[in-house]
């Protein structure tokens, strides 16, 4: 069986996101050629995608994608077929090779790696024991033990694998019987893909990397291994878990093509792709959800403000692990899809920018898209979405604007919490992901954060990061991660267009127990503005979530 978690990556392999509603698998195919090409496959909750990069320039050479179907068996449940996922990976790899051959590129020396997402399968038959479970799978939890967060850096939540794994063991006979008869294997999606591509039941490699393991709630981020106490707490046998390896090493050889595999979680891959290797560097990925990570160096920083402490990456067997603070927002790009598919307000995702620009404001309409509860910093699974402030004047343009504002304000809450935890204010935010092509959204984000927002012109930095980590692995060595050899990527910068010195009407933003309001100092230390005198258009400010 498989679980969804926020993402994984393979160089010459795969990256996946499997604990949110989205699942991402990226297969990076690294070519040891004079031109140093690095291709990879990225699997999201709706697509598997293949990207091919030039390892010296980071230029995107080619890409291909295959759609993945999602099933919604019950309210709040999202499932995907593991067989369909692996077949789409095969198809992506085949189509990519065909396109490379059309470009007269020799694929005989491809090297690469993968990414993550969790589930169960039978090691004797090679068959999945249950569908992949997405991040919108909700359970009411009554457990809350402090030692869990200290060991894992994670709060108790169905967002992570252990709770879903426990549910499957309790509710699915096939899974329980396979575990009892020692036939079951468990892993995030990267583990499944690596196992299948390296031979499956005929000697397939059962492994994952530290970034994917750290999102299962069974992995100790201090000892860098599966934790016996955590496994006993959830009553999960350690024998079914994959071997944990670094994010940048060769895991095995693909049986039908000369690919080498390595793996990296998707948000970690985006951090690498944005080249956030310095302590304090941060990036925000705008996809189905939003994921803001900040590099905290080689020592974990435990959050007091609702964030996750996670492993950023471990780029080699002899390299130390680097940690990060992470804030996860469940709904970002998914709100646009909801407006399109459920409400019919827009006909295409690109249309929302035109509608919002036509309004120029939400005119007091506020949107909280808590479709599956609220993630960081609240971790409240029972929360539900709300649209308020409607009048007879409100139209679809205002709703479109309010939807974009909602994404920006959720990011603002995460960033405020991150500044409080780290004690060092962020001065600019690096961004990536599909939603960043929306220029109005990026400008709104810069205004609401009161800091510059920097967007690379090639927004697929998650895929790029997976390719970089794979290419830098010992034995591959087609990509150098030393500061002097990092690729130069063209970027766009969005500066705040508000005047923090003037006057304006009042507003409030909640930040845990701290509230910013008239006469109070903003909770974002990087901004430093006085909210009583800040000249900020009312349309740019939202009520508290």
65-120 pLDDT tens trace: 777 777 676 666 666 677 777 777 777 777 777 777 777 776 654 544 444 444 56
- Of the pLDDT bands very low, low, confident and very high (cuts 50, 70, 90), residue 40 is low
The residue ranking higher by pLDDT, 419 or 483, is 419
Does the pLDDT of residue 490 top 50, yes or no? Answer: yes
Average pLDDT over residues 367-391: 91
Q: What is the mean pLDDT of residues 493-519?
A: 49
Provide the pLDDT for residue 512: 35
Lateral strand order in the sheet of 308-313: 308-313, 322-329, 290-297, 282-286, 429-432, 453-456, 491-494
Query: What does the pLDDT read at residue 119?
Result: 59
Q: Does the structure show a pLDDT above 60 at 528?
A: no
Name the band, by pLDDT with cuts 50, 70 and 90, for residue 156. confident
Q: Which token pair is 458?
A: 């090639």
Rounded distance, CA 505 to CA 514, Å?
20
Least confident of 32-41, 155-164, 170-179, 340-349: 32-41
Give the residue-averaged pLDDT of 32-54: 54
The yes-or-no verdict on residue 527 having pLDDT over 80 is no
Report percent pLDDT > 90 for the chain: 33
When the pLDDT of each residue in the chain is averaged and rounded to a whole number, the result is 75
What DSSP string describes 482-509? SGGGPPP--EEEE---SBTTS------E
Domains and CATH numbers, the chain: 40-263 (3.30.420.40), 274-520 (3.30.420.40)
Residue 66 CA to residue 61 CA, distance in Å, equals 18
Other beta carbons less than 10 A from residue 535's beta carbon: 13
pLDDT at 391 over 80: yes
pLDDT band at 46 (very low <50, low <70, confident <90, very high): low
Helices (H), 19-145: 82-102
What's the whole-number mean pLDDT along residues 425-432? 92
Q: Is 373 helix (H, G, I), strand (E, B) or coil?
A: strand
């Amino acid at each position: 069986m498989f679980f969804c978690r926020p993402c994984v990556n393979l160089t010459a392999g795969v990256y996946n996101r499997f604990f949110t509603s989205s699942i991402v698998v990226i297969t990076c195919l690294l070519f040891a050629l004079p031109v140093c090409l690095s291709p990879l496959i990225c699997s999201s909750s709706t697509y598997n995608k293949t990207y091919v990069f030039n390892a010296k320039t980071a230029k995107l050479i080619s890409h291909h994608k295959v759609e993945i179907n999602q099933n919604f068996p019950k309210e709040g449940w999202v499932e995907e077929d593991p067989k369909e996922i692996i077949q789409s990976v095969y198809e992506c790899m085949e189509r990519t090779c065909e396109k490379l051959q059309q470009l007269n590129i020799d694929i005989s020396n491809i090297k690469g790696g993968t990414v993550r997402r969790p589930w169960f399968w039978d090691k004797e038959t090679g068959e999945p024991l249950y569908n992949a479970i997405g991040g919108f799978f909700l359970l009411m939890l009554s457990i809350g033990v402090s030692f869990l967060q200290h060991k894992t850096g994670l709060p108790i939540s169905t967002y992570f694998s252990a709770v879903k794994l426990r549910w499957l063991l309790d509710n699915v006979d096939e899974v329980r019987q396979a575990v009892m008869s020692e036939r079951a294997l468990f892993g995030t999606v990267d583990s499944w893909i690596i196992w299948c591509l390296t031979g499956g039941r005929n000697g397939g490699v059962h492994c994952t990397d530290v970034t994917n393991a750290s999102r299962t709630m069974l992995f100790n981020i201090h000892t860098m291994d599966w934790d016996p106490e955590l496994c006993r707490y959830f009553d999960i046998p350690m024998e079914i878990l994959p071997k944990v390896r670094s994010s940048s090493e060769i895991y095995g050889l693909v049986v039908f093509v000369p690919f080498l595999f390595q793996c990296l979680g998707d948000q970690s891959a985006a951090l690498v792709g944005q080249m956030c290797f310095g302590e304090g560097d941060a990036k925000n990925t705008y996809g189905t959800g939003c994921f803001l990570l900040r590099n905290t160096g080689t020592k974990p920083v435990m959050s007091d403000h609702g964030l996750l402490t996670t492993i950023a990456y471990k780029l080699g067997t002899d390299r130390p692990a680097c940690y990060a603070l992470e804030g996860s927002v469940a709904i970002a790009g998914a709100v646009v899809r909801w407006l399109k598919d459920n409400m019919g307000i827009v006909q295409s995702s690109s249309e929302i920018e035109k509608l919002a620009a036509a309004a120029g404001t939400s005119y007091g309409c506020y949107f909280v898209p808590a479709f599956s509860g609220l993630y960081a910093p609240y971790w409240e699974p029972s929360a539900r979405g709300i649209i308020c402030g409607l009048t007879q004047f409100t139209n679809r343009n205002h709703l479109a604007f309010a939807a974009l504002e909602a994404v920006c304000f959720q990011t603002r809450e995460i960033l405020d919490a991150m500044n409080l935890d780290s004690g060092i204010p962020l001065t600019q935010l690096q961004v990536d992901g599909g939603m960043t092509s929306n220029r109005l959204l990026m400008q709104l984000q810069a205004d609401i954060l009161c800091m510059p927002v920097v967007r690379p012109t090639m927004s697929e930095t998650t895929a790029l990061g997976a390719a970089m980590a794979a290419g830098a692995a010992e034995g591959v060595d087609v990509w150098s991660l030393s500061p002097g050899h990092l690729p130069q990527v063209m970027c766009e910068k969005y500066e705040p267009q508000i005047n923090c010195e003037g006057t304006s009407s009042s507003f409030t933003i909640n930040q845990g127990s701290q509230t910013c309001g008239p006469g109070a100092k903003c909770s974002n230390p990087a901004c430093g503005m006085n909210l009583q005198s800040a000249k900020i258009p009312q349309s740019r400010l939202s009520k508290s979530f």
